[in-house]
Structure 1
Amino acid sequence: MHTDNDIYKEIRPYNDDEVSGAIQRLVNDKEFTTAILNYRFPQFSGVLGWLLIPLIKRFLINKWSNVKTVEDVQRQVSKYMHATINQSCDGVTCTGLDKLDPNKAYLFVSNHRDIAMDPAMVNWCMFQKKFSTVRIAIGDNLLKKPCATELMRLNKSFIVKRSAKAPREVLKSLGLLSSYISNSLETGNPVWIAQKEGRAKDGNDKTDPTILKMFFMEGRKRKQSFTEFMPSLNIVPIAISYENDPCDVAKANELYQKQTSGSYEKGELEDIDSIIQGIVGQKRRIHVSFGDVIKDPIETPEELAVEIDRQITANYRLFPANYIAAGIEHDSVTPEEKAKFDEKLSPLPLGVATILKDMYAYPARKQLES
């Protein structure tokens, strides 16, 4: 049916006519229904769990019976987001969208602090302001379970194949990805991608030029120069700031282990735990700052990375914790805020506490220096 899209079939989000099938597969996915059972009814998840599975299936079928299109899925997600925001943070603010045109498709290159919440927050702001929501780049390392893949592709996510190892395979998948991003923008679909692979666990938001080289693969294929092709992508840097990062202690622990023993072994379900913690954990205030479209011709991926970093650093919204950690005097720093921050650090081993403090201090120091 979608012949034009079929070269992207392996990586693209689902189209309207694929939504019902994906929902059907989710409802019949034992791991998925069991996960919902454990989450919603932990007291029954043991011996009697199997009795509830048919009920959960029926509940899902009823709940999702009206979800037939990608737009329907987005509406459902926005309801979940509304509840999540109410329960896990003290409000979301957003700046810079008024400078953008709702009828244009942008390539949003964003700092990366939280696996699921970063693109969700961007979409939340866009949804509120009547912009179309973004297609989300997601690494296949997060899609180890079939139900995760179904959920993500239902929610406008496309797949970045990080697991490819052979050089030819890597080049092929990067070329397809580059082509898909250009195709999305040219068909009016905005795209969100993180500025580097993996979250900035140390608080230092830095763009990896490799990602920008990947964007350009399609330009090279079209025999265009970097300066010619890149402005056509309408790149807009985004800075997302969380007053409190629910995964901060886990990130600091990981970095401390790497520092002290040289390596860190990820647990099998660690990514999933990070996603859940990021969604349900307390974040206090969240700010999403949309930067300016990069229209000036820039010669190299490295120079483009510098410009994206400059905007993200300048637009990052600093909160009291950032000033306190960096030891910077500021009007927003009250004795209550200081006590709150000390309370966060006090139970932690010194090495971990130092890393955590640096994580919050980094954006403030960086803004001062720039």
Structure 2
Amino acid sequence: MKMPNAVDKFRDIRPYNDDEIQPAIQRVIKNDEFINAIICFRFSKIAKFMGFLLTPLLRRYFLYKWGGINSIDEMQKVVGGYMEHMIASTTTGFTYSGLDKIDPTKNYLFVSNHRDIAMDPAFVNWALYSENFKTVRVAIGDNLLSKPYVSDLMRMNKSFIVQRSVSGIREMMKSLGQLSDYIFSSLQGESNIWIAQREGRAKDGFDKTEPAIIKMFYVNGKKQKISFSDYINKLNIVPVAISYEFDPCDQQKAQELYDKAQFGEYKKSKYEDIESIVRGITGKKGRVHVAFGQPLKGEFSDAETVAQEIDRQIYKNYHLHSSNFIAAKQDISSIDIADQELFNARLQGFKPELQEIVLKMYANPVSNHIK
């Protein structure tokens, strides 16, 4: 039986239910900003002159494609079609490993390194879907949901909201408690969870788990008076290492790091997060690999020890590409000449002041793996 709204304590952060999918789709299709965004990104050359003609055509197209979707499963199948096309057109190969070591009948909290806003959980999901595991509910920060249509799109695709913009200690603790409770309830119920190991992408290529994320997990356990170690074991945390041969957003990340180092700050443009999402989806990625680790089991004294074990597995399992070895100047003799030329050509396409930053971005996973 469906929970009445009066006791739906996760309503403001959870993904949409089946009966909320079609109303959300209708809101998205009617949203002028959504249609304009599609026109600008997909039809940029004719947007200025033909936008008024494309708007009604796009609305009819989306109504035709999405008008019959009335459940999460149906939406996931549509997204699956988009994923197949994206993998074929933007990668030179997608692989995964480690799923043979976990049980598809159990629920897991997948904690992954974070390189791309949309594609990290999408690739994890695609690997799970390919092996008949349940797909994940995806944690996404409310800083990315400033546009109503973006929030609708994310929540109809199994995303739940991490409320980072709350202010005040009391509101912050209430938000953390709700999030912690939601994650645990999902795992005890019918769903896997994906969450990044840190707030924000690792723009320098140095993956590091924030202990604050682990502390958030335990807020609900502390409330239930369950010991820290026992609660961590209940969560079935699986570290995940996602590696891209090429990062579609590497130039933008390098520019941000350069500006912060030179001027002390970096000013985001108004639609930069949305542009990063689009660039991550449509940009060339080369080879992509998702490596699943083993569930965390054993004694853990505090959040730092859990974070260290997640990092250890991510560093160990991270699939190093030729781009990483070339940037780190290691084992280059065994790397194909064509791969070296491709990476060097990419590097030369950046402004001189960004090239060293980009090299470190690709080299850092090698340093961490050697540890």
Output the TM-score relative to the length of structure 2. Answer: 0.96
How far apart, in 2, do the equivalents of 1:47 and 1:282 lie?
29
C-alpha contact 1:244 1:283 (8 A) present in aligned 2: yes
How far apart, in 2, do the equivalents of 1:331 and 1:76 lie?
44
The letter of the residue matching 2:241 is A
Provide structure 1 residue ranges, at least 5 long, that are not aligned to the other structure: none
Identify the match of residue 363 of structure 1 among 354, 365, 368: 365
How far apart, in 2, do the equivalents of 1:349 and 1:80 lie?
33
Deviation at 1:332, TM superposition (A): 4.3
Secondary structure in structure 2 of the residue aligned to 1:340: helix
- Cα deviations across residues 245-283 of structure 1 (Å, max 9, x unaligned)? 111111111101111111111111111111111111100
How far apart, in 1, do the equivalents of 2:77 and 2:56 lie?
26
Residue pairs, 1:90-101, within 5 angstroms: 90-101=92-103
Counterpart in 2 of 1:222?
A: 224
The letter of the residue matching 1:2 is M
Is the counterpart of residue 114 in structure 1 residue 119 in structure 2?
Answer: no
Pick closer, same or farther for the CA change 1:169–1:315 going to 2, 3 Å.
same
Secondary structure in structure 2 of the residue aligned to 1:90: strand
Identify the match of residue 188 of structure 2 among 164, 186, 190: 186
How far apart, in 2, do the equivalents of 1:322 and 1:332 lie?
13
Counterpart in 2 of 1:3?
A: 4
How far apart, in 1, do the equivalents of 2:256 and 2:43 lie?
31
Secondary structure in structure 1 of the residue aligned to 2:48: coil
Identify the match of residue 13 of structure 1 among 3, 12, 15: 15
The letter of the residue matching 1:81 is M
Identify the match of residue 128 of structure 1 among 127, 130, 152: 130
Counterpart in 2 of 1:158?
A: 160
Deviation at 1:167, TM superposition (A): 1.4
Pick closer, same or farther for the CA change 1:22–1:257 going to 2, 3 Å.
same
Identify the match of residue 306 of structure 1 among 285, 308, 311: 308
- Cα deviations across residues 197-233 of structure 1 (Å, max 9, x unaligned)? 0000011000000000000000001011101111000
How far apart, in 2, do the equivalents of 1:41 and 1:324 lie?
36
The letter of the residue matching 1:45 is A
Counterpart in 1 of 2:76?
A: 74
Deviation at 1:106, TM superposition (A): 0.1
Identity %: 49
- Cα deviations across residues 285-319 of structure 1 (Å, max 9, x unaligned)? 00000000001121110000000000000000001
Residue pairs, 1:49-60, within 5 angstroms: 49-60=51-62
Deviation at 1:30, TM superposition (A): 1.3
Counterpart in 1 of 2:36?
A: 34
C-alpha contact 1:207 1:308 (8 A) present in aligned 2: yes
Deviation at 1:110, TM superposition (A): 0.2
Secondary structure in structure 1 of the residue aligned to 2:9: helix
Secondary structure in structure 1 of the residue aligned to 2:288: strand
Is the counterpart of residue 262 in structure 1 residue 264 in structure 2?
Answer: yes
How many residues in Structure 1 have an aligned counterpart in Structure 2? 369
Counterpart in 2 of 1:340?
A: 342
C-alpha contact 1:320 1:332 (8 A) present in aligned 2: no
Counterpart in 1 of 2:252?
A: 250
Output the TM-score relative to the length of structure 1. Answer: 0.96
How far apart, in 1, do the equivalents of 2:81 and 2:229 lie?
41
Counterpart in 1 of 2:65?
A: 63
Which segment drifts farther, 163-172 or 151-160? Answer: 163-172
Deviation at 1:346, TM superposition (A): 2.2
